[in-house]
Structure 1
Amino acid sequence: MRYPNSSDPSERQRDEIEAIIARFASTHSGYDTPVPGLRVARISKPVPPTAHFDAAYLCVCVRGRRRVSAGETVILHDESHCVLTAIEVPTIIAIPDASPTRPYTALRIDLDLNLARQIMAEIDIQGPDAVPADACLAVVALDSDLLDGVTRLVKLLERPADIPFMSSLLHREILYRLLSGPGGARLRRIVRSGSQGHRVAKAVAWLRAHFHERLRIEQLAEKAGMGVSTLHRHFAELTGMSPLQYQKQLRLHEARRLMLANELEVGLAALAVGYESSTQFIREYRRLFGTPPMRDIKALREAGGNRATI
């Protein structure tokens, strides 16, 4: 506990969450928990830039910080805010300064967008949902109401008999806090986007399945049921990237995984994900991950591999 005498309710709640996660991590490996949609992490050494591909979720740094980048958006995520994404985007996450004496402690809550849509219909949230076109990650203030709901969800780790009944209620409350709070514009925008959002989701799913193929934007627009210019606009609004940028990041993430897990050589990894030029692959890989492929993979192996985090 870092603040045993703190009179600040939020710090007392953070202490409580941290202690629960520490006890859970001492007896469990990995990040999954018995609470549906809840993952927790307690990490005692820095984690190098690591490729992730996640659907809608909320991440809270209980103690420590992490660096998150997606497309052109870069966030240094600390304890005072949480990070929200509501559509699948490739991200790069690093934990720069965790240590045994100051471990990084965090939790991630999966978000059910169908449930979010139901809640919005029930409470009839009004008002503008203007969101910057590059806001593929939303930074949301961790206010007392949201933190309270998060704390009670984490407490279920030590109250297993309550999980079947209480977990769904608490997920609903957390969604309500996100949707109705001042930082909920990002989530409300995607939920309200209706058919356009659904069509963009179709484009995202197609790119995920066919990222190694040559991208023909007219074909993608046809599959999404949209015009080319409309697809570009809505795709950028929801992911912060163009379809081509999105495909490029999918390719580079997969190539990194192949080199690390399957020990593929650089040229073979480039070909496997759809690159025709190794030179172009190396240039774009370095631009995304900050270092050439061989040097990056060597550093990851020396650090213990491309460890996942939250």
Structure 2
Amino acid sequence: MAETLAQVLMRYTQSRPAVSVIRTVAGEIGILRSDHPKPPTHLFSKPSICIVAQGAKWATFGEGRLVYRAGEALVVGVATPSVGRVVEASPDSPCLVLAIELDLAIMRSLIEEMEVPPMPNDGSERSAFVVDIAGPLTDCAIRVVRLLDTPDALSILFPMLVREICYWLLAGPDGAKLVRISHAEGASQRVIAAVHHVRERFAETVRLEALAAVARMSPSVLHRRFKALTGQTPLQYQKQLRLLEARRLMIADGVSVESAAFGVGYESASQFSREYSRMFGASPKRDTRGDALSAAVRPPAGDPRSAEHGGERRAA
């Protein structure tokens, strides 16, 4: 079945050879085709499933690296900054990835409806993990791609396919991880509330004590569980959000380096430049000369796993 998915993705992308990220008629779907390995790209990954039909990619969330190849998918349960890279691709065998945004509300609804839902365990709380997509998940992915050429049918049937994808993820061997992430109660959900608090106020000074109050945990427990979930400490998470948004402002909106720095919460332009250079490997002034990065920060309805904060590409 993985070969069939690769074939339908190849056919779909062959008529769109000028771009590597395909914009689809549904904002929740993205297709990545890459004919060559690519350098690492900083992303803001939204909850999604990113299915590799051909080739291979890796993604890092903080210090952990996840490799996913043909027949596998990266599942992201909590919106978080990440770094992604295409590592196996060639003109004869391009890397092909289908990314579909997940709805955690659908997950919660399905958990309530399942006669025997998976039980959250005491294992890892990491919000991103790799799953095998053999069988029903691959079948769902093939049907999604085949619907892309019929927008009227896609608008009606796609929500049902997302629901089916969520069901098979929950019914699979990693269902307990998704229950832990998506469930409306419990400690994990309180940590997720803290994650959302940082996202909504990333330009403000966020104190660990105040964040711990949001999660109703001690600062030390929240710090540990926040990093376990996202791969980053609250400060690292906030810093990456700030830098991704500043990059978008400069490249996509033409905002000056100083204005972007102050706009995302930095009090010192020199500190901003140092941290920006450390993260992206180039100074903000060099990045703003020319348009080499404009495609990376343009809001792309179709990029798998994602986009940089502000343009929010999904994960691929």
TM-score normalized by the length of structure 2: 0.78
Deviation at 1:148, TM superposition (A): 1.4
1:174 aligns with 2:154: no
Cα deviation, residue 45, structure 1: 5.5
Measure how far apart 1:197 and its partner are.
4.1
Does the 8 Å CA contact 1:38/1:109 hold for their aligned counterparts?
A: yes
Distance 1:26 1:52 in 2: 23
Structure-1 residue corresponding to 2:3: 11
C-alpha separation between the residues in 1 aligned to 2:89 and 2:291?
18
Structure 1: state its 5+ residue gaps.
Answer: 1-8
Question: What is the identity percentage for the equivalent residue pairs of Structure 1 and Structure 2?
Answer: 34
Indicate conservation of the 8 Å contact 2:2/2:53, yes or no: no
What's the counterpart of residue 297 of structure 1?
287
Q: For the structure 1 residues 48 and 258, does the alpha-carbon distance in structure 2 shift closer, same or farther, using more than 3 Å as the test?
A: farther
Q: Say yes or no: does 1:275 pair with 2:257.
A: no
Select which of 73, 87, 100 maps to 1:82. Answer: 73
| Aligned: 1:254 with 2:208 | no
Q: CA deviation at 1:300?
A: 8.4
> Which deviates the most, 142-151 or 28-37?
28-37
Residue 292 of structure 2 corresponds to residue 306 of structure 1: no
Residue 239 in 1 paired to residue 193 in 2? Answer: no
Query: Please, what TM-score do these two structures have when normalized by structure 1?
Result: 0.79
CA distance 1:287–1:169, shift in 2 (3 Å): same
Return closer, same or farther for 1:266/1:159 CA change in 2, 3 Å cut-off. closer
**Closer/same/farther in 2, CA of residues 41 and 234 from structure 1, 3 Å limit:** same
Return the letter of the residue paired with 1:215.
V
Separation (CA, whole Å) in 2 of partners of 1:15 and 1:180: 27
Q: Secondary structure at the match of 1:171?
A: helix
1:1-310 alignment to 2 at 5 Å? Answer: 9-23=1-15, 25=16, 31-35=22-26, 37-44=28-35, 47-96=38-87, 98=89, 100-123=91-114, 124-133=116-125, 135-192=126-183, 194-263=185-254, 269-277=260-268, 280-289=271-280, 291-294=281-284, 297=287, 301-302=291-292, 305-306=295-296, 309-310=303-304
**In angstroms, what is the RMSD of aligned CA positions?**
3.4
The superposition leaves residues 173-195 of structure 1 with CA deviations (integer Å, 9 ceiling, x where unpaired) of 21111111113333122123625
SS state of the match for residue 204, structure 2?
coil
The change in CA–CA distance for 1:266 and 1:252 in structure 2 (over 3 A counts) is same
| In structure 2, C-alpha distance between the alignment counterparts of 1:128 and 1:201, rounded to whole Å | 16
SS in 1 for 2:245: helix
Give how far 1:220 is off: 2.2
CA distance in 2, matches of 1:67, 1:301: 26
Which whole-Å deviations, capped at 9, do the CAs of 1:205-257 have from their partners, x for residues lacking one?
A: 33223222222122223344444344334423332222112111112212322
Write the deviation string for residues 62-109 of structure 1: whole angstroms up to 9, x where unpaired.
223333222222233322320011111012223356555443322111
Secondary structure of 1:251's counterpart equals helix
AA of the residue aligned to 2:121: D
Structure 1 pair 128–218 and aligned structure 2 pair: CA distance change class (3 A): closer
Looking at structure 2, the residues matched to 306 and 160 of structure 1 have their Cα atoms a distance apart, in angstroms, of 26
Classify the secondary structure of the residue corresponding to 1:148. Answer: helix
Q: Provide Cα deviations, 1:149-206, integer angstroms capped at 9, x if missing partner.
A: 2112222124445434432332222111111111333312212362544433432233
Opposite residue 58 of structure 1, the aligned amino acid is I
Is the alpha carbon distance of 1:286 and 1:96 closer, same or farther for their aligned partners in structure 2, counting shifts above 3 Å?
farther
Q: CA deviation at 1:113?
A: 0.9
**Cα–Cα, structure 1 residues 168 and 305, in superposed 2: closer, same or farther, change >3 Å?**
closer
Higher RCO (CA-CA < 8 Å; seq separation 6+): 2
**Bigger Rg, structure 1 or 2:** 1
Q: Residue in 2 aligned with 1:6?
A: none
